[in-house]
Amino acid sequence: MGGIVSVKLRPDNFQVISNAVPNGLTGEHVPAVPGPRGVAIDIANATLQYPIGPFVRGSLKSALFSLFGHKEQKTAPTFVNAFTDLSLSISVGERVGIIGSNGSGKSTLLRAMAGVYPLQEGTVTVIGQIGTLLDIGLGFEPESTGRENIYYRGMAMGYSRREIAKAEAAIIAFAGLGDFIDLPMRTYSSGMYVRLGFAVSTQFQPDVLLIDEVFGAGDAAFAERALQRMLHLVETAGIVVMVSHDLALIQRLCSRVVWINRGVVVRDGAASAVIPQFQQYMTGELVL
Amino acid sequence: MTYANYHSRRMPSALRYLADLLRYRHLAWNLVGSDLRSRFRRSHLGILWAMLQPLGYSLVIAWAWGAIFKAEDYWSFALYVYSGMLIWDYFTNSVMASLDGLASAVGYLRQSRIPFFVFQIRIPLSGMVVFYAAMCGLLIMMLALGRFPTPGLHLLLLPAYGAVLLAFMLPVAILMSVVGTQFRDLKHIMTIALQALFFLSPVMMQRDYMNDGHLAILQYINPLVPLLDMLRDPVLHGQLWDRQDVIIVLSWSAGLWLLATIASFRAGRKIVFAL
């Protein structure tokens, strides 16, 4: 059972992506360049090892002791394999949910797609402007107001103050935070963090939107608005990749589900086919 | 083991890096502003502290150490110490802040693929604003004492000095951020090293002691000596930079850039795992 499921894509799938790729420098739209396999996200034979503990083994103490011939006993492994020889292709217009048990490598894979984590082997090619919502707290300054943080986050996405100013009113309206927008973010609830983060990350219509386990923190009304925006993003030449343990949310939002176990893709297909198998696995009815 | 994001077009990696730097220039400027705001936040005197702090130090040190060094004129020695504190504060603050330069940017670096340089340059740049604010304090102090620098071409070197200082400090900041993230003991080592360096630099010690004798070697092995000379020559002594000082500072800067480049290439983006 298991093994890597390779998804073959027709070359004409790529035609949609070439319509508009925002240029981060000028805001102009320039045609995208096809990737090696003509898809918008292409991960080929990727291996990522995550270091455990100190990045550089040893400390000043052990360095000094080693001068006197003392050798550090290496009982614990230095790295864990987040994923090994993983290949995955995602085409434009797909809403992909990544599921798996804790520690399966889902979030690490998402960060590799965002270019945050470097690979040991293989390639990750992403065509298009990336928008990320990987952690609700990251990238926000708690002491600054929500309005100021719109600018911080927008600039972290590579936009200028002028471009963000144009989008500011729409972001505030979508987030729906009312007077809270001018209060420091340390006064916000986790749901409010998500609202603002999602509003900024999606306002500039990224080609590729990567979301990690943060979406569920918003209330029902916001979740519906967010769903509509994500559907709109996908319609306007985008890809959405979402990591979540909320299978109902994944089932509702995603057209395709990739199940990862110990860094290996074990199932890849329609949400209606993959999610029941994952649930069977979690209850012990299915063994990989 | 490659990553490519064709947000605009395919291009060689070096050009892509420059394009990314250009793309995130707004963030870099914003971070500099944010650093300055947070430094003087909720302070009644704000950036005036950039002038008052070295002023306070220099007045006290000149009183105590002026007697030890048998300085002929209290105010001349106070101006000498003030100018020394300008560079010393800039150097030590930049070094110590750079040790956490990347760690403090974890929120950004775990969210997006932003060039590290954006977070490495913010510290020397925000320090530079404080440096020039403090420099205004020095000029005001000189004016108040009736010892304003003599007019001449040498005064044109003051704006250029900022560029020289930045060219020297930037690779130091890069090295500190890269090595400091991987080797956490560096913070403690640097605390000791900076204390030692203070007593080996002509911040309050009179520069004449380093002209000859066994301390003369410090002119070459301690880059702060020529850097301090290059500030004091036009401001306090009304003269152009000494050629030897310029050569030594440029040599140090070139060497540091080489080291910073090697360290950055060797570490790559793996540093993100250590944040």
Q: Which of A170, A127, A111 shows the shortest CA–CA distance to A9?
A: A127
Rounded to whole angstroms, the Cα distance separating A277 from A283 reads 10
CA A242/CA A258 separation, integer angstroms: 10
Tell me the one-letter amino acid at B117.
Answer: F
B122/A57 Cα distance (integer angstroms): 29
Q: How much is the ipTM here?
A: 0.78
Sheet with A130-133: list strands edge to edge. A130-133, A208-212, A239-243, A95-99, A256-261, A264-270
pLDDT of residue A166: 92
Q: What is the mean pLDDT of chain B?
A: 88
Out of B9, B38, B114, the one facing A156 most closely (by C-beta) is B114
Both tokens assigned to A111: 């960060």
The pLDDT, as a whole number, for residue A214 is 66
Closest CA to B231 of B80, B125, B58, B50: B80
* C-beta of residue A174 within 8 angstroms of C-beta of residue A218: no
CB-nearest partner of A118 from B3, B34, B184: B3
Res A33: pLDDT: 43
For the cut 50, the answer to whether the pLDDT of residue A27 exceeds it is no
Taking residues B238-262, report their average pLDDT.
95
Q: Taking CB atoms and an 8 Å limit, are B24 and A60 in contact across chains? A: no
Q: Which residue of A has its CA nearest to B28?
A: A155
The DSSP code for A92 is T
Chain A residues within 8 A of B7 when measuring between CB atoms: 21-24, 128-130, 207
| Spatial distance between the Cα atoms of A120 and A50, rounded to a whole number of angstroms | 10
A250 touching chain B per CB within 8 A: no
Does residue A58 sit at the B interface (CB-CB below 8 Å)? no
pLDDT tens column, A199-254: 888 888 788 888 887 666 567 788 888 888 877 777 765 788 999 888 888 888 88
Look at residue B247 in the predicted model and tell me its pLDDT.
Answer: 96
Strand A256-261 relative to strand A95-99, pairing: parallel
The pLDDT, as a whole number, for residue A19 is 29
Q: What are residue A141's phi and psi, to 5 degrees?
A: -95, 110
- Stated pTM of the model: 0.82
Q: What kind and span of H or E run contains A189?
A: none
Looking only at the bridges linking them, the beta strands covering B2-6 and A121-127 are parallel
The answer to whether the beta carbons of residues A133 and A162 sit under 8 Å apart is no
| Partner-chain contact B113 A116, CB within 8 Å | yes
Tell me, what's the pLDDT at B50? 85
At B230, the pLDDT band (50, 70, 90 cuts) reads very high
* B4/A132 touch (CB, cutoff 8 Å), yes or no: no
Q: Does residue B198 contact residue B61 with C-beta atoms inside 8 Å?
A: no
Q: How close, in Å, is residue B100 to chain A by CA atoms?
A: 15
What is the rounded CA–CA span in Å between residue B100 and residue B171?
15
What residues form DSSP beta bridges with A239?
Answer: A208
**Residue in A with minimal Cα distance to B108:** A139
| Burial of B141 per CB tally in 10 Å (0-12, 13-18, 19+) | buried
Residue ranges per structural domain of chain B: 13-274
- Tokens 């979508």 locate to A174
pLDDT in tens, B181-208: 888 888 999 999 999 999 999 998 888 8
Q: Number of A:B CB contacts under 8 A?
A: 141
Give the whole-angstrom CA distance, residue A171 versus residue B3.
Answer: 30
Chain B residues touching residue A60 (CB < 8 angstroms): 185, 188-189
The C-alpha angle with vertex A245 and arms to A219 and A152, in degrees rounded to 5, equals 55
Quick: pLDDT tens for A62-78.
Answer: 666 666 776 666 555 57
pLDDT of residue A76: 56
